[in-house]
Structures are given as C-alpha cells and as structure tokens.
Structure 1
Amino acid sequence: MLELALHILDIAENSIRAGAKLIRILIREDETRDLFLMRITDNGHGMSPEEQKKALDPFYTTKKVRRIGMGLPLLSDAAERTGGKMILRSKPGVGTVISAEFGLSHIDRQPMGDIPSVLIAIIVGNPGSDLIYRHEVQGRIYLLDTRNIKEALEDVPLNHPEVVNFLREHIMEGLSDIGAAA
C-alpha cells in the first residue's frame, strides 16, 4: 500500500468483518511535534493476545480470498521508516485500536492519498455501520459523523447518488478548510 488512505480502508474493512458497528478514525497532523497520528478504533469482536500476535504476522490472515495478511505489517513498517511506530490493542468482546505514528515531515512518510474516496467507500459499502472521522491540523478540526447524517436524512439512504455527491464535496471542502495534508 502506497498511501495512508489505503491502510485506513484495509483496517476499516477488517473492523467490519469483525462485526464493528462503529468505527472511529482520527488523523492528527501536528507540525510542532512533527507528528502524523492515525488511530482507528472499532467496537468489533476484538482479538485475544494470540490473535493480536498473528495479526502482525504477514503470513497470517483470516481472509478466505488470499493466504497472506500484509496490512498491519506494512503499516507498521511504514510508520517505523519515519521514526514512528504502530500499536495494536484489542480486547475480546470490546474491540480494537490501531494507532500509527509517523514523522510528519519525514521524506518517507506515505502521502495521505484519496481520503474522500476511501471514506465514501467505507460509508456506502457498509450501511449497517457508522463512521466517525476526525481530522485535526494544528487545532483546526474537520468532523464527519454518519450517525448525524443518517438522522438528518431520515429515510434517504447514504448510498443515494445525491447523498454520495454531497458527502464527497463535504469531505473535500472540510479537509481543504483545515489545510489537511494530501
């Protein structure tokens, strides 16, 4: 994976497969501390300590389509290449938290990528789950919460073409307003 947005998509898909009904994504860009933080929290089934160890093994996966699970090992490597680290915390029956810290200005930090398309894919592809996306840049905040959007739309589904277009524009404008990294 060459973009951080694709790591987010991979982790969110794993969260959905683990039964998560709420996924929280936090992105924090802090120039003062030269820190780029990415944290994804879910309320899925969670993992035992043994399952957590396996999740960090590139030759283990729970997916039936392929026999290797490179997502978390690649994310960990990407963070470490910038002087950062990745931490996996999980508890059965509670959920999982994956945090990755990167050197914000490090030359090897992967670009953010197309986060609007990734968020749309997560939202539209998983109508039974909710997403809270929070992106912070030097104290400026963009927040997207599908629970609020669903409430405002009442019976209009999030995958309605006009809603999808609105969401894409809202996300792009919100990220632009706070000066989020590309």
Structure 2
Amino acid sequence: MPEIALHLLDLVQNSIRAGAKTVRIVIDLSAQLLLTLTLMDDGCGMDEEMAALAHSPFGTSRTTRKVGLGIPLTRESALATGGSFSLTSEPGIGTTVTASFDTRHIDCPPLGKLEDTLVSLILANPDQPEFEISLSSKDANEVLDTRQIKQTLGTVPITTPDVALWLTACLRDMTENTLGGITS
C-alpha cells in the first residue's frame, strides 16, 4: 500500500468486521523518528491458531474471498523499513496490532492523508464502533474521542456536513501539531 493511512484503513475495517464496539488508534512519533501505529479493538478476537494464520495472505475468516492482505501487507511494510510488527489477540477480548516504521528509511511509505482516512471511517460508521484517536510526539499529545463529540452534539448527527468539515480540520490540526512534516 502506498500510504500508512491506507494500512490503518484496512486494519480498522478488520476490527469493524470483528464486531468491535470501540477502536482505539494510537500513533506515536518518537524522537528517533520511529512512527508506531497501534490499533486496539474489543472485537471478537482470535484464537492462537487464527492469529498466526492472519500473518499469511491466505489466512482469512472471510467466506467471500480466501485472501486477506491487510495484516500481511502492513507487517511487510513495517519490516521493510527496519521497523517491527506484532499482533496479539484473545477470543472474546479483542485484538491489538502494532506496527513501527522507521520514517528515515527509504522504503518507508508516507503517512498520507490521515485526517481523510479517519473522517471516512468515522462517517461510514456513525453508530459503531466508537473511535478513540491519540496522536503523540515529543512535542505534543492530542486525543479525539467520538463518544465525547457525540455527547457534545446531542441530537445533531456526527454525519452532518458541518460536523464532517470540523472533524477533518480538527484531525488535520492534530496531525500537524503532533506528527509535523511526515504526512507526505
């Protein structure tokens, strides 16, 4: 995939298919320019055998197509930069995926339009899951939680165009404040 944001999109879609009620996304840029993406969900989780199979492009729980590339592509992309990848899961508890990318490496994909990816996920799934998004670096730490936004909005749907524009601007500012110039 050409952008880290697209890896995130695919991983979150896995969480949604797993029935997650809450998806927590943590993106941290270390002082050493290591970008760590962690996704935690409370979906159905996987047993040890399925979690091991998830690393393979031919390991999927889908019945429509017997290929699942999200986890293998994310893993290979992270490892190609000298980064790391881990997946832990427990049935009935959920799954955690962590991928670290060395942003100084020539093979590191750009972050991409993170705000557009996140807004698309929120608007396409207005009821469930709830999203907690945390972006951090040595300079800043910012959090966006859709539960708090919905509480503030009251009866106004989160999918309202003005809210969508605000979400995009908010997430763009969060990205610029925390992750700075690694977005493209």
Q: TM-score, normalised by structure 2?
A: 0.93
Find the aligned partners of 1:142 and 1:112 in 2 and give their Cα distance: 17
Aligned length: 181
Unmatched segments (≥5 aa) in structure 1: none
Per-residue deviation at 1:65?
Answer: 4.1
Q: Residue 77 of structure 2 corresponds to which residue in structure 1?
A: 78
Q: Deviations over 1:62-87 (max 9, x none)?
A: 23443311111111111111111110
Q: State how far apart, in whole Å, the 2-side matches of 1:65 and 1:164 are.
A: 32
* 3-state secondary structure, aligned to 1:61: coil
Change (3 A) 1:139 1:109: same
Give the TM-score of the pair, scaled to structure 1: 0.94
Unaligned segments of structure 2, at least 5 residues: none
How many Å apart are 1:179 and its aligned residue?
4.3
Counterpart CA distance in 2 for 1:8 and 1:107 is 20
Q: Are 2:175 and 1:175 equivalent residues in the alignment?
A: yes
- Aligned equivalent of 1:9: 9
Name the CA shift for 1:34/1:169 in 2 (closer, same or farther; >3 Å): closer
Paired with 2:3 and 2:37, the residues of 1 have a C-alpha distance of 12
- Displacement of 1:103 in angstroms is 1.2
- The residue type paired with residue 120 of structure 1 is V
Deviation at 1:177, TM superposition (A): 2.6
Q: Percent identity?
A: 36
Residues 24-63 of structure 1 show CA distances to partners (whole Å, capped at 9, x for unaligned) of 11111113x3411010000001000011011111112223
Conserved 8 A contact 1:29-1:104: no
Q: How does 1:1-182 map to 2 (within 5 A)?
A: 1-31=1-31, 33-127=32-126, 128-180=128-180, 181-182=182-183
Q: CA RMSD in A?
A: 1.3
